[in-house]
Structure 1
Amino acid sequence: MKKVYTLLLLFLTLTTISAQERQTLYAKVVNDADDKPMNAVHVVNLTTIKGVITNDKGEFEIEANPDDTLFFSFLGFKSIKVRVTNDMLKYKGSSTIRMTELAYALEKVVLTPYQLTGYLEIDAKNVPLRPNYRYRIAGLSTGYEAGEKAPGAISSVLGAIFNPADFLQNLFGKKPTQMRKLRQMKEDDKIRDLLASKFDRQMLRELLQVERVDVDEILSLCNYSKTFITNANDLQVLDAINDCYEEYKVLSRQRKK
């Protein structure tokens, strides 16, 4: 009899969990300034790492449970986070998310003239380049980007990655869950498309729970060049951090042996 009760309790527990996983949130996104629906807003559940895009009416539906965190992003608007509540799930379609437009201040742009001769071979050599150099290391599937060519560049790379406790351990060693979520982001096409169009590092910062300057420092300590750190989009940064993490794990296992 006791076994029957145990099996029944287990069945009810699994049913409850399954029901929670199947919950769907229906909501709408509007412009806070004029209440007009916003089309093509990216909505990402930071808890499950699943993303959707709003339709022409600003509506969307996404799998979510209470206390999940949703991240809303749209070009020219302030990205926001919203915590899912029981009421939002219970009263379907009644939730309205308001996004605020950003005010941009135009920066002064300085154009540097180049004297062109009209001969491609000559002009190509005169264009300033900032090459990035990567070096392969035995035992690793990819190489590290050392940045500008300079004396000691290779030794700087080797010194950094073979002393992971100095900087990588503080991030990678203490945040395995966040790193797994970063890998999950690469598997969702909608999230990949979103990251490929963004350069603000916001979603990556939310997942890693760090500031923007920390993301730049992580890339720098992983020996990515200033050119890459400045110009890479969020998807490229995601790939770079993932690569650095995978290499860190390889070296960390080797050190333990």
Structure 2
Amino acid sequence: MRIFFLGVCCFFSLFGLAQEDAETNTVKAIVKNAQTDEPMESVHVVNLNQVVGTITNEQGEFSITAAVNDTLYFTYLGFKSQKIRVTNDMFRFGNTEIALTELAYALEEVIVRPYQLTGYLEIDVKNLPINNAYQYSISGLSVGYEGGNKNPSAVTKVLGAILNPADLLRNLFGKRPNQMRKLRQMKEDDKIRDLLASKFDRETLTELLQLDKMDIQDILNNCNYSQSFITTANDLQILDAISSCYEEYKVLNRKK
């Protein structure tokens, strides 16, 4: 009986070590253009499970920390984004090729003349639109609130968030603990930050956080970010905004 018990302990110890090794394995592969078969440089590769990122080199090669069944997300401007599930064969052979397909756009003639500029700076400056989104700073609070355009409802929106912030944020984040835990990891990975800073489509954010675009917009709306900010901010700014709002939620929860 004692021998059997020792055998079971050894088995689970080896199994645990094997799992630990699997988590620290490195996937190596090459990304190519599906149409030309040429290697693609500077393709962003993100492990959606472990929230780490990298980019391909001049030969289209990359390496990234991954485990079996992790999902790798590939994105490059002008190409269709792609998700690949990590398999044992990718670790064994190391010569995996991933092909990305160019997006086909039907371009129409566009005349870029939105503001009828004259060429005279003093006149043109007066004709350019001004961002009317106002952010309110409240004494005693470390975070400001964007209330939108300058009108009475903007102030009401800010005061409503201050008077009853706990219930608001609890409804937003309480049902999404797993997604929100990834926020800090995303902010700490330089490759992911660089990728998000160059994107405005929310596509990578939705994949990483497992939220749809409407969820992201609802979070920002209820955290008092203006429609102007939500529309024009890049994905990194959106990430920082959601993260800031989530930190407020955690602070309020600790004070209960």
TM-score range, shorter chain: 0.7 to 0.9
Name the CA distance, whole Å, in 1 between partners of 2:120 and 2:65. Answer: 59
Cross-structure match for 1:111: 114
Percent of pairs identical after alignment? 55
Structure 2, unaligned runs of 5 or more: none
Q: What per-residue deviation string (whole Å, max 9, x for no partner) do you get for residues 135-185 of structure 1?
A: 23466421121121111312212324625545x444411222211212211
Name the CA distance, whole Å, in 1 between partners of 2:39 and 2:229. Answer: 36
Are residue 53 (structure 1) and residue 55 (structure 2) matched?
A: yes
Name the CA distance, whole Å, in 2 between partners of 1:213 and 1:219. Answer: 10
Are residue 210 (structure 1) and residue 211 (structure 2) matched?
A: yes
**How many residue pairs end up in the alignment?**
251
Structure 1, unaligned runs of 5 or more: none
1:214 Cα offset (Å): 2.7
Give the secondary-structure state (helix, strand or coil) at the position aligned to 1:180.
helix
Cross-structure match for 1:159: 160
Name the CA distance, whole Å, in 2 between partners of 1:139 and 1:10. Answer: 53
1:132–1:146 contact (8 Å) kept in structure 2 = yes
Q: What per-residue deviation string (whole Å, max 9, x for no partner) do you get for residues 182-216 of structure 1?
A: 22111111111111111111111012222223322
Cross-structure match for 1:173: 174
AA at the equivalent of 2:203: Q
AA at the equivalent of 1:31: N
Give the secondary-structure state (helix, strand or coil) at the position aligned to 1:152.
helix
Q: What per-residue deviation string (whole Å, max 9, x for no partner) do you get for residues 94-135 of structure 1?
A: x2111111123446444222567665xx86556431233222
Cross-structure match for 2:83: 81
TM-score (norm 2): 0.86
1:13 Cα offset (Å): 3.8
2:182–2:209 contact (8 Å) kept in structure 1 = no
1:140–1:247 contact (8 Å) kept in structure 2 = no
Name the CA distance, whole Å, in 2 between partners of 1:96 and 1:117. Answer: 53
Name the CA distance, whole Å, in 1 between partners of 2:226 and 2:107. Answer: 27
Q: Which deviates further from its counterpart, 188-197 or 4-13? A: 4-13
AA at the equivalent of 1:244: C
Change (3 A) 1:118 1:174: closer
AA at the equivalent of 2:249: Y
AA at the equivalent of 2:81: S
Change (3 A) 1:78 1:171: farther
AA at the equivalent of 2:18: T
